[in-house]
Chains A and B, each alone.
Chain A
């Protein structure tokens, strides 16, 4: 096969179409990159492997990137991995810097995407060998490290930890599925709930319920009468985007992209952990993180570069081991199997042309994503100027459609969305912290599986400390992360006192 013969207008057209459709999927709350790839998977029959892969990679990159749009503009993460983008993106949008925040996110995304593509191209087999050093024990410690972000992100330490634990508890409702090596027995629910909660609460409906619906309910409570004159968010008035915002961000970009790539390489850890980890590391290790969570560009940089870096990272185990790195690449593997292509440790060597075409498609998808989003964002950002009494019903409608569609038409997912929307509103009233709660929810189930499997595989608790040098290193990171969070809290508490004195 001649590579050049495959680089047709059709090939690039499909990448562009995939990227655009992916961005739209990512931008609609409840629709994800995974869903976009799943919907278009059967098309690979019609297009053939190379063109099919071009389309799917476009969808993948576009879907991950598009998630930042609702995260910044309406405080709803379009995909679970854009959750940390809301922390600084939305406050910036509220200051009239929505377009700026999105452009920062786009540049960070393309950096992360190309960084991971380069890593994939040059180091895939080596990294695959590194990835298999991570057993259940190391994966559990990575999740634990990601959970330590709760200590950095909460405004009240005690309530934050309580909310995080509550999130973990909510994630454990359902069964410990036999497909994850569990016993399939239901727990933490009454018998009548078993029919609906056998697989627990779905992540996406919970996420958009807690973020999207809760925001709508809280604003509805305040009323929209003054919206037209005062409370309305404007696109004008805030600082404009300049590339010099990235001055001093190189370390953040590289570290966050590195974290995203690494998490992508580790099968099963999940994309949300990547952005949460990158965000927490920036918060802990940057020279000045005092504005993070209040609208700091560095927060968006860390979040978006890491979640886009996941794309190349997740392809490493897929193409070097035949093991998908995340939920989207798990569907992507279907494109190969449907064409009768064996994916495993010999894939790259046996299919060099396909491998090069995939790399070209991945780079092209990132560049096209940048082109499409950077120049279209000025118009997309105008959504924020739509009056809330028009915008919010549309958001609710999209959330409901997304929740219904996420698991191929499960009505209980819509109820989940509504239940958690109301729960989020109540949580706000009683002082529970939503962000630690959702982080606990996202990571709780993986933490359980890896913890239980570590014990089952190795027999005792000491294995968490003695398994490998990687495990020891992760413990150091966990300790440093917690210590930094406590240090920052103490320092921030002292500062006002010093100013007063």
Chain B
């Protein structure tokens, strides 16, 4: 038995060494490690961040002939892992929450534009939505703004410090613009998961919740006498973004119907001249010391992937909008978006 075990072990060691050699070799024209860890700012494998990341990372790994794995570690462990990885072994994918957390002053959220390198954007989740119970007296966002202006308290379930809150802030800002001093009638009920937000609506503890087309669409199909029945009143995505989704929309709600809940059909004023819109965008983040050649390499690989078009179909099938911008363009674009949202938040803080 012994010689067989010896030979088996030797074979294993040799094949392992060959495997390492092959993966290192494959990455020669691109200074990326053969094993790439992609952490995401969410612990959920059922959420949009994991979904988008796994689609894009799978294609990226194929393109670069490397092993890449998405780890749903969450925000802080994600930033910490990124901070430690100076040689590009770990990169991160997250969404606008990465900078919104910092704008809202959430403890531990860094200024990503200073402390990390902002990489390419990859997709938009156009489904960020606000919903009311089906029997709610509020038929539209204008009704909500009017009610708040007339002294009615509107309770909104959100997850604080992230994408969920920015729409809430915009609503508050819209009330402030039309009825200065009345914005305090828009009250946040801070909560966590989508389940918690839904539950607060079922309980009648809030008037409106932040949700998503993907998670809440089926609730909008329920009959009005069902305690769980809901109705969309606002999609924060731009009209142009929704136009890029499949015509069939999501579930039993067509794209045409979804457009009815977006600007200009729904108006939540940001200032005197324009309405507030917000696309929830996913993008890469790198360690500050990441080799620029590696960043270029990922940019180029993604550019090829998006040119081929297969990823577009995959993303659209899952109700995402493909949105590739290379690192430099993405960085300046997201910085601008950051500054715009900062203005709204600052205005509300007075």
B31 at the interface (CB under 8 A from A): no
Closest 7 CB pairs of A and B: A344-B218, A333-B46, A334-B45, A181-B191, A323-B195, A180-B192, A181-B190
In the assembled complex, the CB of B199 is this many whole angstroms from the nearest CB of chain A, namely 6
Q: Are A132 and B199 in contact (CB under 8 A)?
A: yes
A129 at the interface (CB under 8 A from B): yes
Please, could you name 28 A-B residue pairs with CB atoms under 8 Å apart, sorted by A? A129-B228, A132-B228, A135-B199, A135-B200, A179-B159, A179-B193, A180-B192, A183-B160, A185-B107, A186-B107, A195-B80, A198-B108, A268-B196, A322-B218, A323-B195, A324-B46, A334-B45, A334-B51, A340-B317, A342-B218, A344-B216, A344-B217, A407-B73, A408-B71, A409-B71, A453-B191, A456-B189, A457-B189
The residues of B that contact A185 with a CB separation of less than 8 Å are 107
- Contacts of A321-370 to chain B: CB distance below 8 A: 321-324, 330-334, 336-338, 340, 342, 344-347
Q: Are B318 and A337 in contact (CB under 8 A)?
A: yes
Q: Are A129 and B227 in contact (CB under 8 A)?
A: yes
Complex alpha-carbon distance, A345 and B218, angstroms: 6
B234 at the interface (CB under 8 A from A): no
B16 at the interface (CB under 8 A from A): no
A321 with B228, Cβ < 8 A, contacts A195-B80, A342-B251, A344-B215 known: yes
Q: Are B218 and A175 in contact (CB under 8 A)?
A: no
B44 at the interface (CB under 8 A from A): yes
A38 at the interface (CB under 8 A from B): yes
B270 at the interface (CB under 8 A from A): no
Most A CB atoms within 10 A — which of B45, B101, B161, B317?
B45
B348 at the interface (CB under 8 A from A): no
In the assembled complex, the CB of A363 is this many whole angstroms from the nearest CB of chain B, namely 24
A340 with B318, Cβ < 8 A, contacts A183-B160, A323-B194, A324-B46 known: yes
Q: Digit string of B147-171 for contact with A (CB within 8 Å is 1, else 0)? A: 0000000000001111000000000
The residues of A that contact B199 with a CB separation of less than 8 Å are 132, 135-136
> How extensive is the interface on chain A, given as a class?
35 or more
The residues of B that contact A231 with a CB separation of less than 8 Å are none
A198 with B162, Cβ < 8 A, contacts A38-B45, A458-B205 known: no
The residues of A that contact B51 with a CB separation of less than 8 Å are 334, 337-338
A42 at the interface (CB under 8 A from B): yes
The residues of A that contact B71 with a CB separation of less than 8 Å are 408-409
Complex alpha-carbon distance, A458 and B47, angstroms: 29
Question: What residues of chain A have their CB less than 8 Å away from a CB belonging to chain B?
Answer: 38, 41-42, 45, 129, 132, 135-136, 175, 177-186, 194-195, 198-199, 267-268, 317, 321-324, 330-334, 336-338, 340, 342, 344-347, 407-410, 449, 453, 456-458
The residues of A that contact B214 with a CB separation of less than 8 Å are 337, 342
The residues of B that contact A183 with a CB separation of less than 8 Å are 107, 160
A178 with B200, Cβ < 8 A, contacts A184-B107, A195-B80, A346-B221 known: no
Complex alpha-carbon distance, A347 and B101, angstroms: 34
* Total residue contacts A-B, CB cutoff 8 A: 140
A345 with B196, Cβ < 8 A, contacts A330-B46, A337-B51 known: no
Q: Are B221 and A179 in contact (CB under 8 A)?
A: no
- Contacts of B130-182 to chain A: CB distance below 8 A: 159-162
Q: Are B45 and A199 in contact (CB under 8 A)?
A: no
Q: Digit string of B181-222 for contact with A (CB within 8 Å is 1, else 0)? A: 000000001111111101110110110000000111111011
A268-B193, A340-B319, A457-B206 given; name 13 further pairs at CB < 8 Å: A38-B45, A38-B72, A129-B228, A132-B199, A135-B199, A181-B160, A185-B107, A199-B74, A324-B46, A345-B219, A345-B228, A409-B71, A457-B203
Chain B residue nearest to A196 in the complex (CB): B80
In the assembled complex, the CB of A417 is this many whole angstroms from the nearest CB of chain B, namely 17
Q: Are B190 and A456 in contact (CB under 8 A)?
A: yes
B282 at the interface (CB under 8 A from A): no
Q: Are B50 and A334 in contact (CB under 8 A)?
A: yes
Complex alpha-carbon distance, A407 and B106, angstroms: 23
The residues of A that contact B215 with a CB separation of less than 8 Å are 322, 344
The residues of B that contact A346 with a CB separation of less than 8 Å are 218, 221-222, 251
